Amino acid sequence: MPSISVIRLLALAIFAVASASAVRAEVAGSGHSMAMEHHASHKDDFSFGEPSEARLAQRTVAITMTEMSFEPKILTVKPGEIVRFVITNSSDVDHEFTLGDKATQQAHRKEMAAMVTMPGMPPMHHHEANAVTVRAHESKEMTWKFGPAAQLEYDCNIPGHFEAGMTGALIVQ
Ligand SMILES: [Cu+2]
């Protein structure tokens, strides 16, 4: 039979372990917000256009996210056109919609891959104006004013998704 003091010691030990994990969770949490600040500090300076407002849009384009692809897969817009994207995720996994040229998309994929190494953190918190995360069975909007003629892409840069075919061609002409 353990004495009262042994039970008390055990209780103390359990409390200590619980507090330690709470501290760890807090540390992980602050690492996370640091990552978000890092993202937020990016200069919103895109060669392929700039964020705009839905009320200014000249056109609305519906995009559907399926299991690992976008519908439609090809889009054409005019230089300077303001397009409101309504992005619906009809799949069971979270996705993102990032507008950009190849270089921007590749840079974004690298960042996403780096973020996924943080234990327990979902790899999808970016506050760049050209990206939006759409959770499973949800819808989001993004309005973008396109720049000059260019070959762009809309990609999902959640690790593995672009590689699985989650990309669309966006031609500005
Ligand atoms: Cu995806």
The whole-chain average pLDDT of the chain stands at 81
Closest C-alpha to 66, from 46, 41, 92, 40? 92
Judge whether 31 lies within some domain.
Answer: no
Domain count, the chain: 1
State the distance from the centre of ligand 1 to the C-alpha of 77, rounded, in angstroms. 23
In a domain, 54, yes or no: yes
Region 40-45 average pLDDT: 55
Which CATH number characterizes residue 89's domain?
2.60.40.420
- pLDDT grade, residue 57 (50/70/90)? very high
Length of the chain equals 173
- Condensed to tens digits (0 to 9), the pLDDT of residues 2-11 reads 555 554 554 5
Q: β-pairing, 59-65 with 82-89? A: parallel
At 101-117, the pLDDT tens digits run 999 999 999 988 887 66
Note whether residue 5 is domain-resident: no
In the structure, ligand 1 is a single-atom ion and the residues with CB under 5 Å from it are 95, 156, 158, 161, 166
Q: Which domain holds residue 85?
A: 49-172
Confidence (pLDDT) at 33: 40
Instruction: Find the 44 Cα to ligand 1 centroid distance in Å.
Output: 23
**Position 72 in a domain:** yes
With H, G, I as helix, E, B as strand and everything else as coil, classify residue 154.
strand
For residue 124, tell me if it sits in a domain.
yes
